Amino acid sequence: MTAIAARALPQRRNHDAAPAFLAALIMHAALVGWMWFAVQWRTSASAPAVAELWELAPPIEAAVEPPVPAPPVVSVPPPPSEQPTPPKADIVQKQEAPRRPVESPHKETLTKKDNKAKNAQPTHEDVRRQQAERQHQQEMARLTQQAGVVSRTPALASAGPIGNEYSAKIQSAVRAHLFFAVPEGVSPSVFAEFEVELLPTGEQAKDPRLVKPSGLPGFDEAAQRAILRTDPFPRRDDGTVPRSLSLRLYPQDAR
């Protein structure tokens, strides 16, 4: 009995090890599978969440029907008022006004000529005034010839030419300072001519220059002194003076 029991015990042990080995293998496979699943779950990237947005369509407005235009109002013009027929005007024949007599052009021309002739006839006062003006001009011409004042500045025409009255004024101003004892036998036509340059104020810009000596040195010096003493020179009525002038002085003008 003992030998039979000893041989039967190892066989029972071999039969019990196979299920245990299979169970252990299944447990290990399950453990490995679970670990692999855990590792894959932790390392897998989370998929992005996708959301769709929907925009609500605007409410559809009800179509507004255009207002029906009112029928045009036709204005009926009022009937034209009947104007009263004016009464027929009485035909009145106008009397023609009496016509003026037509004067002949020849007669009118003669009348105008007669009026002009009457107006052209000088009166006694006009004759006297013309004679006085003529005598005054002759006297001024004589004084101008004696003074011998001649303008040397034609470019100063805007300031006005040297007239007889202004020449007589210069002669009177210079003769007031001319002193010279005239020797006997001196011709009245002897003169000394000086050229004088003036400033706008009438003062002399420089000493007068002797252009033509008189042949009397004493008179030439006296005439130059008289011109230098006449400073400033007299002005015109408008307050202007010529830029330069030529002045003739005669010995007979000395005192």
How much is the pLDDT for 124? 72
State the amino acid at position 222 in one-letter form. Answer: A
For the stretch 111-116, contacts whose Cβ atoms lie closer than 8 Å and that sit 24 or more positions apart, written own/partner, are none
Residue 180 covered by a domain: yes
Rounded Cα–Cα distance for residues 177 and 253 (Å): 10
How much is the pLDDT for 104? 54
Kindly indicate the confidence band of residue 218, based on its pLDDT and cuts at 50, 70 and 90. Answer: very high
Domain, as residue range, for 249: 153-253
Residue 231 covered by a domain: yes
Rounded Cα–Cα distance for residues 229 and 151 (Å): 20
Residue 74 covered by a domain: no
Residue 186 covered by a domain: yes
Residue 230 covered by a domain: yes
Higher pLDDT, 248 or 151: 248
CATH number of the domain enclosing 184: 3.30.1150.10
Of the candidates 146, 147, 170, the residue with the CA atom closest to the CA atom of residue 234: 170
Residue 167 covered by a domain: yes
pLDDT at 195 exceeding the cut of 90? yes
pLDDT at 64 exceeding the cut of 70? no
3-state secondary structure 219-248: HHHHHHHHHHHCCCCCCCCCCCCCCEEEEE
How many domains does one find in the chain? 1
Higher pLDDT, 131 or 161: 131
- The model's pLDDT over 132-171, given as tens digits with 9 standing for 90+, comes to 777 766 665 555 554 444 444 332 333 345 667 888 888 8
Residue 141 covered by a domain: no
Kindly indicate the confidence band of residue 216, based on its pLDDT and cuts at 50, 70 and 90. Answer: very high
Residue 38 covered by a domain: no
In this structure, of 19-28, 150-159, 196-205, the range with the lowest mean pLDDT score is 150-159
Residue 162 burial by CB count (10 A; 0-12/13-18/19+): exposed, middle or buried? buried
- The model's pLDDT over 66-97, given as tens digits with 9 standing for 90+, comes to 676 666 666 666 666 666 565 554 444 445 55
How much is the pLDDT for 158? 32
